[in-house]
Chains A and B, each alone.
Chain A
Amino acid sequence: MMKNDMRNEHIPAEQFAFVQENEVLHDQELQTKARGFFADAMMRFSKNKSSVIAAWILLFLILFAIFSPIISRYDVRDTDKLYVNFPAYVPGIARMNLGILDGAKTFDSQNDVAMLKWRAIGEETGMDPVLRVLNTHETEVKYRGQMVTRTTYDIEVNYYYALGMIYKTFSYDEYKALQAWQNETGIQVIYPYVDPADINGQTDTPNIWYQLDSSGAPALDKNGNFIPAYSTDTMGVGVEYDSIRIPGDDGSYAYATAKAGAVQCRVLYYNYYQYINGFEPSYIMGTNVMGLDLFCGIGAGARFSLLFAILVSAINLTIGAIYGAIQGYYGGAVDMVLDRICDVLSGVPFVVVTTLFQLHLAQKVGAIGAFLFAFVLTGWISMAALTRKQFYRFKGQEFVMAARTLGASDSRLMFKHIFPNAIGTIITSCALVIPGVISSETSMTYLGIVNLRAFAGTTIGTLLSDGRAAVTSAPHAILWPSIFLGLLMISFNLFGNGLRDAFNPTTRGVDD
């Protein structure tokens, strides 16, 4: 140190020069690009990987909700009485034999008789229901004193083909129209009639078209073929059958039987469905217990949930902001009284609020109106608390005082000067309010406290409670709505968290 000082001590005067001789002194221009608050927040949001992924998933789910009811051939009010709890099936993809969307349902331990019955359905309709054999079990059974090998099969069945025939009653006009349609399209709907008396008197098994032995198993001829049990007696039907006949019919089979001014037929439901709807059944996610297309149902339910949640948040935001602004701005006794009101309202359990509103208001403003009121009654409280806190933070600051000195009125101070400062925090917390609303709405419709079937057709909560009826036989009916709801909740919360962190000015610049 000392040495340095010594060396710098005797510098001749002529070696000194002014740094900025003949120059104008000015600040250097900023080299960095100016970044606004919003751009900064977006930048920090995009750094948060999980939130970005969540945002994309959320976008996908919202698009799903918008478009799935449009894409789907069904409406949320279209319910099929027979395709109930049916697995996913799209005919075009099913025919490609990829093992997906083929309406497959597993049937375990099918014995030989059962296998024959499956075969018979395929033989008559030309649509073989058995897709594939998964397992073959061989067991040795003692039968009448001898050891016999019994084979059972685990098979996958196309459930739509497996439904096969139904008995259906038509008026004479309908019967004629159906025949005309058959002739036009070449698709056979009506199959020869089988009199229950000829099949051991079974009236509820329209799929049996062959002769049975005394034990109820199909009776086969020498070549192992089924022996048809079709009726030949027309029993005075009144309308001639003049349309497609099955192969092997010499014109003597009867295709209908008279039934009190109408005719009863054996109808292949898969083709009858085409006659009614104009297309083959096609359920991307299967159907639920109401026979509703889940693909459309989830979309419609999600539409409702999202719109409802946004509406509720908007109303609560407005009420909460005004209430919180008054509390925070005036403070003192006003704050205390208003705070006590909040305490009382927030103490009432939400189930109770919803129930009471349903009981009192549902008659007057409809279930949906009463539900909305229930959400609004207590929903704004958290928003008011948030606004109040922000107002306490800003109301003593200089810019407010300056505005007041200039003669600004109270409401002007509140909403023109203080509120804009607090709005970032409030808006971003809204992103976390929406999933909360969806969650409570789903719980209430699931529990059946609120029934919105008449208003919205269905909701996710309704779908879940419908799906619960068949959780073992048709798990897909509860799985899809659950997955949708789970994903929606997760992505909404992650997205909301990311947004809140990004807009939070206190964490600004921390991670850089």
Chain B
Amino acid sequence: MVKYTLQRTLYMIMVFFTITFMCFVLIRMLPLPVLPPEDVHTKIVMMRREALGYNEPYVVQFGIFLKNIFTKWDWGLSEILYYGQDVWSIFVQKLPATMVVNLYSIIWTIPVGIALGIFAALKKNTWVDYTISTLTMVVISVPSFVYAFLIQYLFCYKLQWFPFLMKGGTDWFSWPMFISMVPAILSLSFGTIAGFARTTRAELTEVLTSEFMLLARTKGLTKTQATVRHALRNCFVVIVPAIFGQFIGILGGSLIIEGIFGIPGVGGLTLKAITGLDYNIFILSTCFYTAIGLAASLVVDISYGFIDPRIRMGSKK
């Protein structure tokens, strides 16, 4: 198991560096932005470019890029949006907003989603099940920004329960801040609830019809006992990794939702870097999103083996 984990991790790191290298080269191939000549930072940026080897072959540039990251944790300077500022410190400033909103969202959506899924599975083929399944289907199909608009129009404009945009400031856990985040949290929540409800329902209906459930009932357990002790445990083999994946995903957030509700997060920063062609921020965002994606799949993969001893990861037969 440990060996398998190590193998997978190493492999993921390799994949990560391959992707980073590809994107790095493609970004460095783009024409450089013209710097404002009279700005005090221009000289610094020019010197930085020289030091980063902008005239060297791409492999050398990548080497310098990696060396700077590993020795000084230096991701370069912003050349357009935040002229002359350190990219990493800008990025770190943006991270809390994204994380807090996503955290609030998954804290309540995962239990609700699982509960709905269990409910639907237990009442299989009744109107309860049909309602939940249909709603799940509908919510998963519709892109999240469509109900973001609805929420914004209904709750922020018509009913005026919440402000239009997220409040400024850094008091992440204060009450007014929470209120201003509610529309964004709601918009992010529907998809997660539906996802978990669907997975749980599918998994639990399968487990409930398996032989050992019959055995559990035969040996005298009540339906509740059998469901809680045997069925649920088995179905959590699939759900728990998904929860881990979700938790890693909170770092990433959503580009669109952040834009709609004015959340000062990494998604907005990435989008601004893309439209403003701020390459250093873009490289950092690329690495960040790639790492999150890979880490999530890695954690999901490995946690299967840890949760369910029957699954022998990486064994040959």
Mask: chain A, 457-477; 1 = CB below 8 Å from B; 0 = not: 000000010011001100100
Cα-based distance from A344 to B16 in the complex (angstroms): 8
Partner of B137, one of A447, A449, A490: A490
Q: A67-75, A105-113, A129-137, A478-486: which one contacts chain B?
A: A478-486
* CA A351 to CA B289, docked complex, whole Å: 10
Answer yes or no: B34 CB below 8 A from chain A CBs.
no
Interface window among A40-48, A355-363, A367-375: A355-363
Whether B145 pairs with A443 at a CB distance below 8 angstroms is yes
* Contact status B19-A351, CB under 8 Å: no
Mark contacts of A478-506 with chain B using CB atoms, 8 A cut-off: 1 yes-contact digit, 0 otherwise. 10001001100110111001000000000
* Contact of A448 with B by CB under 8 A: yes
Whether the Cβ atoms of A472 and B274 lie closer than 8 Å is no
Q: Tell yes or no: B237 within 8 A of A by CB.
A: no
Q: CB distance A348 to B22 under 8 Å?
A: yes
Within 8 A of A (CB), among B134-153: 134, 137-138, 140-143, 145-146, 149-150, 152-153
| Interface: B15 (CB within 8 A) | yes
- Whether B143 and A439, one on each chain, are in contact in the complex, defined by CB atoms closer than 8 angstroms, is yes
Chain A contact residues: over half helix, strand or loop, or mixed? helix
From B153, B255, B277, A471 is in contact (CB under 8 Å) with B153
Residues 231-290 of B at the A interface (beta carbon under 8 Å): 255-256, 259-260, 270-271, 274-275, 277, 282, 285-286, 289-290
| Bound CA–CA A355/B149 (angstroms) | 25
Q: Given A355-B282, A360-B30, A435-B141, are A347 and B256 also a contact pair (CB < 8 Å)? A: no
A447 x B256 contact (CB < 8 A): yes
Bound Cα distance from A485 to B141, whole angstroms? 10
| B contact patch SS | helix
Question: Does B40 make an interface contact (CB < 8 A)?
Answer: no
Nearest neighbor of A340 in chain B, beta-carbon distance: B15
B274 touches A355 (CB 8 A): yes
Q: Report if A352 contacts B (CB, 8 A).
A: yes
Bound: A472/B156 CA distance, A = 10
Contact of A485 with B22 at beta-carbon distance under 8 Å, contacts A493-B137, A494-B137 already known: no
Residues of A within 8 A of B270 (CB): 351
Complex-state Cα separation, A352 to B286, whole angstroms: 6
With A344-B19, A471-B152, A489-B141 already in contact, the answer to whether A351 and B146 are too (CB < 8 A) is: no
Identify B259's interface contact among A349, A447, A493, CB under 8 A.
A447
Residue in A closest to B146 when the chains form the complex, CB atoms: A482
Chain B, interface size category, equals 35 or more
User: In the complex, how many residues of chain A place their beta carbon closer than 8 angstroms to a beta carbon of chain B?
Assistant: 36
Q: Compute how far the CA of A347 lies from the CA of B293 in the bound complex, rounded to whole angstroms.
A: 7
Please report the C-alpha to C-alpha distance between residue A153 and residue B189 in the assembled complex, in whole angstroms.
41
Q: Measured between alpha carbons, how far is A492 from B140 in the docked complex, in Å?
A: 12
> Judging by beta carbons under 8 Å apart, are B143 and A347 in contact?
no
B275 partner residues in chain A, CB cutoff 8 A: 448-449
CB closest chain-B residue, reference A440: B143
A356 CB to closest chain B CB (Å) equals 5
As a 0/1 sequence over residues 20 to 64 of chain B, the CB contacts with chain A under 8 angstroms (1 = contact) are: 001100110110000000000000000000000000000000000
Q: Which of B157-196 contact A (CB under 8 A)?
A: 157
Taking CB atoms, residues of chain A closer than 8 Å to B16 are: 347
- Min Cβ gap B248→A in Å is 14
A482 and B137: CB pair below 8 A? no
**A343 CB-CB contact with B under 8 Å:** yes
- Measured CB to CB, the closest approach of chain A to B296, in angstroms, equals 11
Instruction: List the A side residues contacting B282 at CB < 8 Å.
Output: 355
B274 surroundings in chain A (CB, below 8 A): 351, 355, 449
| Residue pair B23, A442 in contact (C-beta under 8 Å) | no
Q: Are B143 and A356 in contact (CB under 8 A)?
A: no
Contact between chains at A356 and B23 (CB < 8 Å): yes
Looking at the assembled complex, report how far the CB atom of B256 sits from the nearest CB atom of chain A, in whole angstroms: 6
Closest approach, in angstroms, between the C-beta of A349 and any C-beta of chain B? Answer: 4
Contact A348–B290 (Cβ < 8 Å): yes
Residue numbers of B with Cβ under 8 A of A are 15-16, 18-19, 22-23, 26-27, 29-30, 134, 137-138, 140-143, 145-146, 149-150, 152-153, 157, 255-256, 259-260, 270-271, 274-275, 277, 282, 285-286, 289-290, 293-294
Pick 6 A–B contacts, CB within 8 A, sort by A.
A344-B19, A348-B290, A349-B286, A472-B157, A475-B157, A482-B146
